[in-house]
Structure 1
Amino acid sequence: MTIRHHVSDDLLLSYAAGSLAEGWSIAVATHLALCPACRRRLALAESIGGELLETETLADHGSVDDAWASVRRRLQQPMKPSAPARETPPARQPGGLPEPLRSYVGGDIETLAWRSLGRGAYHIPIRTADRETKVRLLRIPAGKPVPEHSHGGRELTLVLSGSFVDGDEIFARGDLEDADASLTHQPVATPETDCICLAVTDAPLRFRSWAVRAIQPFLGI
Structure 2
Amino acid sequence: MSAITHHTPDALLAAYAAGTLPQPFALVVAAHISMCLECRAAYESHHAAGGAILEMTPTEDVSVHLKSNVLDLLDEPVKREPSYQRSGVFPGPIMEALKGKQPRWKSLGMGVRQSILSDRHDGSVRLLYIPPGLSVPDHSHNGLELTLVLQGSFSDDTGQFTVGDLEVADQALEHTPVADAGAPCICLAATDAPLRFNSLVPRLLQPLFRI
TM-score range, shorter chain: 0.7 to 0.9
Please provide the CA RMSD for this pair: 2.2
Say whether 1:140 aligns with 2:130. Answer: yes
Q: 2:106 matched to which residue of 1?
A: 115
CA deviations on 1:167-216 (whole Å, 9 max, x unpaired) are 25110111000000111000110111210000000110011110111111
| 1:88-135: CA deviation from partner (whole Å, max 9, x where unpaired) | x934x2222111111212456xx432100112100001126x420111
| Higher radius of gyration, 1 or 2 | 1
Letter in 1 for 2:93: P
Q: TM-score if structure 2 supplies the norm length?
A: 0.82
Letter in 2 for 1:213: R
Residues 48, 148 of structure 1: CA spacing in aligned structure 2 closer, same or farther, 3 A cutoff?
same
Which whole-Å CA distance do the structure 2 matches of 1:198 and 1:94 have between them?
15
In the alignment, is residue 99 of structure 1 matched against residue 92 of structure 2?
yes
- The residue number in structure 1 matching 2:157 is 167
The amino acid of 2:108's aligned partner reads L
Q: Give the count of matched residue pairs.
A: 188
User: 8 Å contact 2:24–2:118 — kept in the other structure?
Assistant: no
- Give 1:212's aligned residue: 202
Matching of residues 80-99 of structure 1 within 5 Å: 90-91=84-85, 93-99=86-92
Deviates more, 1:191-200 or 1:119-128: 119-128
The whole-number CA distance in structure 2 between the counterparts of 1:180 and 1:202 is: 10
Aligned counterparts of 1:156 and 1:39: Cα–Cα separation in 2: 17
Q: Residues 106 and 209 of structure 1: is their aligned pair in 2 closer, same or farther, counting only changes over 3 Å?
A: same
- Which secondary structure state, in structure 2, belongs to the residue aligned with residue 112 of structure 1? coil
The aligned runs of 1:28-67 (5 Å cut-off) are 28-49=29-50
> 5+ residue gaps in structure 2?
62-82
Code of the aligned partner of 1:90: Y
> What is the correspondence of 1:186-205 to structure 2 with a 5 Å cutoff?
186-205=176-195
Q: Please report how far the alpha carbon of residue 12 of structure 1 lies from its aligned counterpart in structure 2 after TM superposition.
A: 0.6
Q: Which amino acid aligns with 1:37?
A: E
Alignment correspondent of 2:4: 3
| Secondary structure of the structure 2 residue equivalent to 1:100 | helix
Amino acid in the other structure paired with 2:154: F
Any runs of at least 4 consecutive aligned residues in structure 1 with deviations exceeding 2 A, and if so which?
A: 46-50
* TM-score where L is the length of structure 1: 0.78
Conservation of the 8 A alpha-carbon contact between 1:148 and 1:186: yes
**Structure-2 separation of matches of 1:196 and 1:106:** 19
- Deviations 1:50-103 (Å, cap 9, x if unpaired)? 7x9xxxxxxxxxxx665xx1xx45xx7xxxxxxxxxxxx934x22221111112
CA shift, 1:45, in A, is 1.8
User: Counterparts of 1:173-192 in structure 2 under 5 Å?
Assistant: 173-192=163-182
Report the Cα distance in structure 2 between the residues aligned to 1:148 and 1:65, rounded to whole angstroms. 32
- In structure 2, relative to structure 1, the CA distance for the partners of 1:65 and 1:186 (3 Å cut) is closer
